[in-house]
């Protein structure tokens, strides 16, 4: 069904829409409404293989039998992302920046192992030229990210929720691109994810636990405030990496960023929350109210997320949202792939 708002967003503004699901029917609907790329992770791959069984049955016949461990998980991820990479390749071949890509994520059990992540990133990237490798925005993950950028890979930093994380990623991308150019390598697409809705989820629990003097109406603007601040800083510094709002929980996690030169990861459930007749208004430069920021700043965890120096790189892996999300990617994504029967 046609969605006028999404069609406006993707044709009349600089914003780019990537579909956040690996279910075939959902992917087709999204691309009819302007999606030009896909984000996946181990959780979404596992969900697709287990719920979209009829669609994948024939394709799984080509996956080698008897695999285990990383080889098995990678083969299953390759089955899904490789298919979609081929499907969107005609969009990629048009040569428009940020369009025609599919994400594949490295093993979330290894978020602190630089060498492991680099080697696995090379493997995932070898599947197709329009694969974007997702690495975690941990200290080690950002080191691996910079090296992958220097080698010309398309990369996205995920498990990322805060201003200091995306700033560290943006800086690493610039360093990596400079190294690539010095070696005669054309840099690939670089993305810095901010899981705005997952940040809201975490801060909501923290607020309840600490009896913070904030309202729900404040909490649902926390991720928006952090993303808008990061976007302004990226513009000021001239970072060439795309910010990507993801982990969305409401329509505001799309509509509040309308008009930004961002790649938006939008899940089907969020599409349903966006009214087709929502005001077609570019809101990226509309700031979150000062009194909302003031109340949120009474929470130490929000200050970590919002301030440019709120955390050091070594602290990224310990941020509450990072632990929650990594655990989901492991226990609801990567590890279940190891037991998937095909």
d(CA 293, CA 95): 40
pLDDT tens digits, one per residue of 69-107: 999 999 999 999 999 999 999 999 999 999 999 999 999
Question: Are β-strands 16-19 and 131-136 bridged in parallel, bridged antiparallel, or unpaired?
Answer: unpaired
Q: Characterise 100 by phi-psi region: left (phi > 0), alpha (psi -120 to 50), beta (else).
A: left
Task: Say if 342 falls within a structural domain.
Answer: no
Domain hosting residue 304, numbered range: 4-335
Across-strand partners of 244? 193
Task: Say if 341 falls within a structural domain.
Answer: no
CATH at 331: 3.20.20.70
Across-strand partners of 111? none
Task: Say if 154 falls within a structural domain.
Answer: yes
d(CA 38, CA 18): 5
Q: Output phi, psi for 321, to 5 deg.
A: -65, -35
d(CA 153, CA 103): 12
What's the pLDDT at 1?
81
Sign of CA dihedral 147, 79, 107, 309: positive
Decide: pTM greater than 0.95.
Answer: yes
What's the pLDDT at 73?
97
- The answer to whether 276 and 4 have CB atoms below 8 angstroms apart is yes
Task: Say if 262 falls within a structural domain.
Answer: yes
- Into how many domains does the chain fold? 1
Task: Say if 15 falls within a structural domain.
Answer: yes
Task: Say if 119 falls within a structural domain.
Answer: yes
Contact residues for 264 (Cβ-Cβ < 8 A; gap 6+): 15, 16, 17, 18, 244, 245, 254, 257
Across-strand partners of 135? 157
Q: What is the 3-state secondary structure (H, E, C) of the chain?
A: CCCHHHHHHHHHCCCEEEECCCCHHHHHHHHHCCCCEECCCHHHHHHHHHHCHHHHHHHHCCCCCCCCHHHHHHHHHHHHHHHHHHHCHHHHCCCCCCCCEEEEECCHHHCCCHHHHHHHHHHHHCCCCCEEEEEECCHHHHHHHHHHHHCCCCEEEECCCCHHHHHHHHHHHHHHHHHHHHCCCCCCCEEEEEEHHHHHHHHHHHHHHHCCCCCHHHHCCHHHHHHHHHHHHHHHHCCCCEEEEECCCCCHHHHCCCCCCCEEEECHHHHHHCCCCCCCCCCCCCCCCHHHHHHHCCCHHHHHHHCCCCCCHHHHHHCHHHHHHHHHHHHHHHHHHHCCCC
What's the pLDDT at 158?
98
Terminal-residue alpha carbon distance, the chain: 33
Task: Say if 329 falls within a structural domain.
Answer: yes
Contact residues for 269 (Cβ-Cβ < 8 A; gap 6+): none
What's the pLDDT at 12?
97
What's the pLDDT at 31?
97
Q: Tens-of-pLDDT digits for all 342 residues of the chain?
A: 899 999 999 999 999 999 999 999 999 999 999 999 999 999 999 999 999 999 999 999 999 999 999 999 999 999 999 999 999 999 999 999 999 999 999 999 999 999 999 999 999 999 999 999 999 999 999 999 999 999 999 999 999 999 999 999 999 999 999 999 999 999 999 999 999 999 999 999 999 999 999 999 999 999 999 999 999 999 999 999 999 999 999 999 999 999 999 999 999 999 999 999 999 999 999 999 999 999 999 999 999 999 999 999 999 999 999 999 999 999 999 999 999 999
Task: Say if 340 falls within a structural domain.
Answer: no
Measured at the CA of 296, the angle between CA 294 and CA 300, to 5 degrees, comes to: 115
């Amino acid at each position: 069904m046609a969605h006028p708002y999404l069609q406006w967003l993707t044709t009349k503004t600089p914003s780019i829409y990537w579909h956040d699901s690996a279910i075939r029917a959902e992917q087709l609907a999204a691309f009819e409404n302007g999606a030009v790329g896909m984000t996946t992770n181990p959780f979404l791959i596992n969900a697709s293989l287990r719920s979209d069984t009829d669609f994948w049955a024939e394709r799984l016949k080509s996956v080698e039998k008897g695999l285990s461990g990383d080889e098995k998980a990678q083969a299953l991820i390759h089955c899904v992302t490789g298919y979609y990479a081929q499907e969107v390749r005609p969009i990629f071949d048009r040569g428009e920046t940020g369009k025609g890509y599919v994400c594949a994520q490295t093993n979330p059990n290894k978020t602190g192992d630089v060498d492991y992540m680099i080697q696995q990133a090379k493997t995932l990237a070898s599947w197709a030229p329009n694969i974007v490798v997702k690495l975690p925005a941990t200290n080690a993950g950002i080191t691996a990210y910079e090296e992958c950028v220097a080698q010309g890979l398309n990369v996205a930093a995920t498990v990322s929720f805060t201003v200091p994380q995306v700033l560290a990623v943006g800086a690493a991308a610039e360093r990596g691109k400079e190294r690539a150019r010095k070696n005669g390598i054309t840099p690939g697409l670089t993305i810095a994810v901010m899981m705005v809705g997952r940040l809201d989820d975490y801060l909501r629990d923290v607020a309840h636990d600490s009896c913070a003097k904030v309202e729900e109406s404040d909490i649902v603007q926390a991720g928006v405030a952090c993303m808008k601040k990061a976007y302004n800083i990226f513009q000021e510094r001239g970072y060439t990496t795309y910010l990507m709002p993801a982990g969305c929980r409401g329509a505001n996690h799309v509509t509040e960023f309308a008009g930004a030169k961002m790649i938006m990861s939008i899940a089907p459930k969020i599409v349903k929350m966006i009214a087709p007749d929502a005001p077609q208004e570019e809101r990226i430069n509309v700031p979150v109210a000062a009194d909302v920021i003031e109340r949120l700043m009474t929470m130490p965890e929000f200050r970590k997320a919002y301030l440019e120096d709120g955390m050091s790189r070594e602290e990224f892996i310990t941020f509450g949202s990072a632990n929650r999300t990594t655990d989901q990617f492991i226990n609801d994504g990567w590890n279940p792939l190891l037991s998937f029967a095909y």
